[in-house]
């Protein structure tokens, strides 16, 4: 498949464009994005704490059952509670993923129409119009393919750790884990443009497999992975890492010195600061896609992916008639000998 020469985006020019995109409407975008993010983090943290408490009590209940001091029904209810909490966390994660995509689409439209503000109203409008039944399949495909790519190393890690004891086993486990993290990061970068490419061809995705968005994203990122990684590292990861080290360190210091006021202040400032920076992170993804796709032919990225509409509707098979396969006729012995003699005569010639 021939594709046009890929070009990278200069870091300095990208950061300048990002400031122009985010700065005018930062406060309007910050309140809904930070607010939803803080609520999401708080709910997930509370539910996770409940789950850990239930799991701790479950282990105690199992021991009590062994001594005849509890009923197995108690274990069943505890397991159902854990599964229910996991289901709620998954639902919240899907909701927040849709919210992130809606915010990215809002910034994308802001680049096309500078007069459009990035605010709670515009984000909510995009959220309502999302085809969530299609987006959640993209999310699942990304999770599934990333898991399958990391599965071999996870199995190798489990086998080696069980066979190698001592420090050697720990070193091997760390090496395999680092390699596994590199694979997960690599595949995440490859699939990072799936939501934007899906939006480019959204009408054509009706009835089609959503994994075609991942295929197009892999093709889109050919020759761009290191450039994308560098921009994301400098613009998104590095500022959030520095903020986490400062206020996360403050929280740890408060625990170490038993000054729990510092712990609470550190945790609150950590969560609030990261949430307030999320608009920059979401705008970065939208800006990178819009800049990188300039001059690129979208049909090339989706080549040999979508199935014909006639195949999807079944129209192509309406007049198809099944004909049973007829057994091949076996030649008689006389005809077989005659063919062999002709073949030998040709060889002699």
What tens digit of pLDDT does each residue of 309-334 get? 777 777 777 777 777 777 766 666 66
Residue 285 and residue 293 in contact, taking contact as beta carbons nearer than 8 Å = no
Residues 179 and 114 placed together within one structural domain of the fold: no
More confident site: 61 or 131: 131
Query: At residue 130, does pLDDT exceed 50?
Result: yes
Query: At residue 67, does pLDDT exceed 70?
Result: no
What integer pLDDT is reported at residue 3 of this predicted model? Answer: 42
What integer pLDDT is reported at residue 7 of this predicted model? Answer: 65
Residue 217 burial (CB count, 10 A): 23
What integer pLDDT is reported at residue 341 of this predicted model? Answer: 62
Rounded mean pLDDT, 155-175:
75
Rounded mean pLDDT, 326-348:
62
For residue 223, the SS3 value is: coil
**Residues of the chain with pLDDT > 70: what percent?**
88
**Domain contains 343:** no
Residue among 132, 122, 100 nearest 275 (CA) = 100
Q: How many residues appear in the chain?
A: 349
CA separation for the pair 69, 189 (Å, rounded): 52
Residues 28 and 150 placed together within one structural domain of the fold: no
What integer pLDDT is reported at residue 72 of this predicted model? Answer: 73
Residues 2 and 121 placed together within one structural domain of the fold: yes
Residues 126 and 12 placed together within one structural domain of the fold: yes
Residues 61 and 135 placed together within one structural domain of the fold: no
- For 201, residues 6+ apart whose C-beta sits below 8 A from its C-beta are 216, 298, 302
Residues 118 and 136 placed together within one structural domain of the fold: no
What integer pLDDT is reported at residue 259 of this predicted model? Answer: 85
pLDDT in tens, 179-227: 999 999 999 999 999 999 999 999 889 888 999 999 999 999 998 999 9
Query: At residue 74, does pLDDT exceed 90?
Result: no
**Domain contains 244:** no
Residue 204 burial class via C-beta count within 10 angstroms: exposed 0-12, middle 13-18, buried 19 and up:
middle
Residue 158 and residue 120 in contact, taking contact as beta carbons nearer than 8 Å = no
Instruction: Look over the chain and give the mean of its residue pLDDT values, rounded to a whole number.
Output: 86
Residues 206 and 90 placed together within one structural domain of the fold: no
Backbone angles phi, psi at 290, to 5 degrees: -60, -40
**Domain contains 86:** yes
Cα angle: 269, vertex 270, 273; to 5 degrees: 75
**Least confident residue range of 95-109, 186-200, 333-347:** 333-347
Query: At residue 159, does pLDDT exceed 70?
Result: yes
Q: How confident is the model at residue 34 (pLDDT cuts 50, 70, 90)?
A: very high
Rounded mean pLDDT, 56-64:
76
Residues 125 and 258 placed together within one structural domain of the fold: yes
**Domain contains 322:** no
**Domain contains 24:** yes
**Domain contains 249:** no
Residues 7 and 120 placed together within one structural domain of the fold: yes
CA 254 to each of CA 33, 41, 187, 247, 250: distance values in angstroms, whole numbers, following the listed order: 29, 21, 38, 10, 6
Residues 20 and 123 placed together within one structural domain of the fold: yes
* Residue in the block written with tokens 């979508």: 306
CA separation for the pair 122, 103 (Å, rounded): 9
pLDDT in tens, 223-280: 899 999 999 999 999 999 999 999 999 999 998 888 889 999 999 999 999 999 999 9
What integer pLDDT is reported at residue 342 of this predicted model? Answer: 63
Tokens of 60: 């105690």
Residues 66 and 106 placed together within one structural domain of the fold: yes
**Residues of the chain with pLDDT > 90: what percent?**
55
Helices (H), the chain: 11-22, 26-66, 72-112, 120-129, 132-163, 167-190, 194-200, 211-220, 225-232, 238-256, 260-292, 298-301, 309-313, 333-348
Residue 326 burial (CB count, 10 A): 6
pLDDT in tens, 283-310: 999 999 999 988 788 888 888 888 887 7
What's the predicted TM-score (pTM) here?
Answer: 0.84
**Domain contains 341:** no
More confident site: 25 or 40: 40
The boundaries of the domain holding residue 136 are 131-222
What integer pLDDT is reported at residue 344 of this predicted model? Answer: 62
**Domain contains 329:** no
Please count the structural domains in the chain.
2
Residues 75 and 6 placed together within one structural domain of the fold: yes
What integer pLDDT is reported at residue 1 of this predicted model? Answer: 40
């Amino acid at each position: 498949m021939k594709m046009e020469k890929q070009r990278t985006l200069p870091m300095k020019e990208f950061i300048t464009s990002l400031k122009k995109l985010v700065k005018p409407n930062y406060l309007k975008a910050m309140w809904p994005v930070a607010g939803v993010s803080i609520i999401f983090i708080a709910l997930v943290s509370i539910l996770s704490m409940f789950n850990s408490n239930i799991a701790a009590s479950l282990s105690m209940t199992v021991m009590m059952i062994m001594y005849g001091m509890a009923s197995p029904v108690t274990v069943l209810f505890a397991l159902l509670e854990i599964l229910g909490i996991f289901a709620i966390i998954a639902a919240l994660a899907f909701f927040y993923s849709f919210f992130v995509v809606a915010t990215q689409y809002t910034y994308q439209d802001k680049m096309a129409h500078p007069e459009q503000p990035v605010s709670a109203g515009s984000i909510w409008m995009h959220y309502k119009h999302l085809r969530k039944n299609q987006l959640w399949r993209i999310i699942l495909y990304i999770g599934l393919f990333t898991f399958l790519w990391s599965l071999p190393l996870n199995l190798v890690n489990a086998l080696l750790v069980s066979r190698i004891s001592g420090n050697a086993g720990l070193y091997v486990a760390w090496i395999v884990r680092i390699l596994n993290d590199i694979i997960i990061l690599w595949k995440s970068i490859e699939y990072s443009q799936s939501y934007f490419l899906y939006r480019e061809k959204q009408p054509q995705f009706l009835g089609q497999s959503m994994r075609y968005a991942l295929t197009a994203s892999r093709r889109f990122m050919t020759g761009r992975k290191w450039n994308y990684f560098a921009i994301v590292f400098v613009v998104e990861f590095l500022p959030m890492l520095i903020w986490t080290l400062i206020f996360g360190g403050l929280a740890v210091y408060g625990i170490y010195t038993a000054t729990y006021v510092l712990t609470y202040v550190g945790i609150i400032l950590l969560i609030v600061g990261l949430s307030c920076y999320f608009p920059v992170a979401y705008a970065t993804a939208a800006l990178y896609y819009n800049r990188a796709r300039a001059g690129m032919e979208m049909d090339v990225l989706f080549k040999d992916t979508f199935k014909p509409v006639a195949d999807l509707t079944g129209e192509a098979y309406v007049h198809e008639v099944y004909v049973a396969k007829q057994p091949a006729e076996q030649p008689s012995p006389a005809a077989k000998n005659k063919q062999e003699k002709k073949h030998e005569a040709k060889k002699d010639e």
